[in-house]
Amino acid sequence: MPKATNADDPDAPDGVQIDLISGERMDGMATMEKIRMILDGVHDGNIVILEEGLTPDEESRLIEVTMSEISPDEFNGIEIETYPKSKANDSSLLGRIMGGDESAAKLTVIGPANQIETLHKDETLISALVSRD
Amino acid sequence: MGLFTELKDSISRVTDRLFSEEEPKRIGIYGPPNAGKTTLANRIARDWTGDAVGAESHIPHETRRARRKEDVEIERNGKSVTIDIVDTPGVTTKVDYEEFTDEMEEDDAIRRSREATEGVAEAMHWLREDVDGVIYVLDSAEDPITQVNTMLIGIIESRDLPVLIFANKIDLDDSSVKRIEDAFPQHKTIPLSAKEGENMDEVYENIAEYFG
């Protein structure tokens, strides 16, 4: 992954870095590796976009780890948006047991809570405002 | 998670439930901050045990540690269930101490935000490990389609936990129970006002029937 832009670094480029991470790259990663990669990017002020989103268990752990890293005046947490799952993709209990739910592709946008604001979201569009601190 | 690990976990959860039939079921009260979780937990606890669970407040994150009220026996229409009510902090992905500085000194606001983050982390951990069912409380005057609500409901579904959605604050003018029913049609939604005690008969009927 390229070196992230750091808002505190005077030599850093004047802009917001966006990391678009493919499903293929995420496939080989353990849950905590994914979470570390996401939060390291967000801590550096980046917007992280996941091609295939996270599983519910990974989302749960992402919230848990994010909470443990919040610190006054340094890191307020994350904004996260995912397309709602299409009703056509709703799976049965059997489907979930067989792992069908795990592979449902859904794009997810994650960014620092103090820099990203969701303006609009529906089934086909996530519109976000990103400010530079 | 692999197929066999998942199957093993599913079977284990089912057998755990079968063999712990006599044990109180741990029902976690989850939802976003300020939905009225503690007000509901207190209402249930007072109605069936005479004691409250914890303090209520209009300031977000008043509940910063999960609190448990044990052995609450609820009976309605011939059905009964004994539950441990676990009142959890409101789940969120961000906590900014400056949100509290209008109401308190900065040091207190920082302490409150630190406790809140620890409480949310604990609540997420317990959702994966330590609850048998979930009461998901939403403020019916607010838009229920938020990322946190969608994620939490998805996490609860992925763990095959039974869940009842409670549309709280129906005493407010902007309340819309239908908005919640439309947002999560796959789950039963029960309207109530925990603060005013409205519709609590239906609440207890559903708890006794669904978790019993």
Would residue A6 count as lying in a domain?
no
The pLDDT, as a whole number, for residue A101 is: 46
Q: What is the dihedral of CA A81, A83, A84, A85, to 10 degrees?
A: -130
- Give yes or no for residue B59 having a pLDDT over 90: no
For residue B158, give how far its alpha carbon lies from the nearest alpha carbon of chain A (Å).
6
Interface with chain A: mutation pick from B105, B151, B153, highest number of A CBs within 10 Å: B151
- Residue-wise pLDDT for B188-203, tens only, equals 999 999 999 999 999 9
Compute and round to an integer the Cα radius of gyration of chain A: 16
The Cα B87–Cα B69 span in angstroms is 8
Would residue A70 count as lying in a domain?
yes
- Give yes or no for residue A23 having a pLDDT over 90: yes
Would residue A131 count as lying in a domain?
no
Q: How confident is the model at residue A12 (pLDDT cuts 50, 70, 90)?
A: low
Which range of B2-16, B54-68, B104-118 scores highest in mean pLDDT? It is: B104-118
For residue B78, give how far its alpha carbon lies from the nearest alpha carbon of chain A (Å).
30
With residue B166 as reference, give the H or E element that holds it.
Answer: strand B163-168
Q: Collect all residues of chain A within an 8 Å Cβ-Cβ radius of residue B145.
A: 84
Mark yes or no for CB contact A68/B10 under 8 Å: no
Average pLDDT, chain A: 82
For tokens 């109180």, name the residue.
B24
The Cα A113–Cα A51 span in angstroms is 20
Instruction: Record the pTM.
Output: 0.83
pLDDT average, residue stretch A34-56? 95
Q: Collect all residues of chain B within an 8 Å Cβ-Cβ radius of residue A56.
A: 151, 154-155, 157-159
The Cα A41–Cα A33 span in angstroms is 12
Q: To the nearest whole percent, how much of chain B has pLDDT over 70?
A: 88
For residue B49, give how far its alpha carbon lies from the nearest alpha carbon of chain A (Å).
32
- Give yes or no for residue B161 having a pLDDT over 90: yes
Q: Collect all residues of chain A within an 8 Å Cβ-Cβ radius of residue B97.
A: 72
Q: How confident is the model at residue A94 (pLDDT cuts 50, 70, 90)?
A: very low
Q: What angle do CA B4, A64, A48 make, to 5 degrees?
A: 90
The pLDDT, as a whole number, for residue B187 is: 96
Sign of the C-alpha dihedral computed for residues B5, B8, B12 and B14 taken in this order: positive
The pLDDT, as a whole number, for residue B12 is: 55
Average pLDDT, chain B: 88
With residue B43 as reference, give the H or E element that holds it.
Answer: helix B37-49
The pLDDT, as a whole number, for residue A2 is: 44
CATH number at residue B40: 3.40.50.300
Contact B144, B179 (CB under 8 A): yes
- Give yes or no for residue A108 having a pLDDT over 90: yes
CA of B72: how far to CAs of B83, B128, B161, B177, B185, in Å?
5, 23, 20, 27, 29
Would residue A32 count as lying in a domain?
yes
For tokens 């029902």, name the residue.
B27
Interface with chain B: mutation pick from A67, A90, A91, A108, highest number of B CBs within 10 Å: A67
Mark yes or no for CB contact A97/B7 under 8 Å: yes
Among chain B residues, CA nearest to A30: B1
Higher confidence at residue A95 or residue A11? A11
The Cα A11–Cα A122 span in angstroms is 38
For residue B183, give the nearest of A97, A84, A47, A34 by alpha carbon.
Answer: A84
Interface with chain A: mutation pick from B9, B93, B131, highest number of A CBs within 10 Å: B93
Could you tell me the residue range of the domain that residue B47 belongs to? 2-211
Q: How confident is the model at residue A40 (pLDDT cuts 50, 70, 90)?
A: very high
Q: What is the dihedral of CA A96, A99, A100, A106, to 10 degrees?
A: 100
For residue A50, give the nearest of A18, A91, A2 by alpha carbon.
Answer: A18
Higher confidence at residue B118 or residue B61? B118
DSSP bridge partners of B90: none
pLDDT average, residue stretch B63-85? 89
> ipTM of this predicted complex?
0.82
Q: Collect all residues of chain B within an 8 Å Cβ-Cβ radius of residue A98.
A: 3
Helix (H, G, I), strand (E, B) or coil at B180: helix
Which range of A74-83, B86-95, B131-140 scores highest in mean pLDDT? It is: B131-140
Task: Give chain B's domain count.
Answer: 1
CA of B93: how far to CAs of A65, A66, A68, B149, B166, in Å?
10, 7, 11, 11, 22
Among chain A residues, CA nearest to B7: A97
Could you tell me the residue range of the domain that residue A32 belongs to? 18-86+103-112
> Which of A80, A93, A114 has the CB atom closest to B147's CB atom?
A80
Among chain A residues, CA nearest to B121: A64
Q: Collect all residues of chain B within an 8 Å Cβ-Cβ radius of residue A64.
A: 120-121, 124-125
CATH number at residue A53: 3.30.1370
Higher confidence at residue B157 or residue A102? B157
> Which of A64, A76, A97 has the CB atom closest to B125's CB atom?
A64
The pLDDT, as a whole number, for residue A97 is: 45
Among chain A residues, CA nearest to B8: A97
The pLDDT, as a whole number, for residue A6 is: 52
DSSP annotation of B58 reads: S
Among chain A residues, CA nearest to B157: A56
The pLDDT, as a whole number, for residue B208 is: 95
Based on the number of CB atoms within 10 Å of its own CB, is B189 exposed (0-12), middle (13-18) or buried (19 or more)? buried
Which range of A100-109, B125-134, B182-191 scores highest in mean pLDDT? It is: B182-191
Task: Give chain A's domain count.
Answer: 1
Mark yes or no for CB contact A59/B151 under 8 Å: yes
Q: Comparing A15-19, A32-36, B141-145, which segment has the lowest mean pLDDT? A: A15-19
- Give yes or no for residue B155 having a pLDDT over 90: yes
Q: To the nearest whole percent, how much of chain A has pLDDT over 70?
A: 74
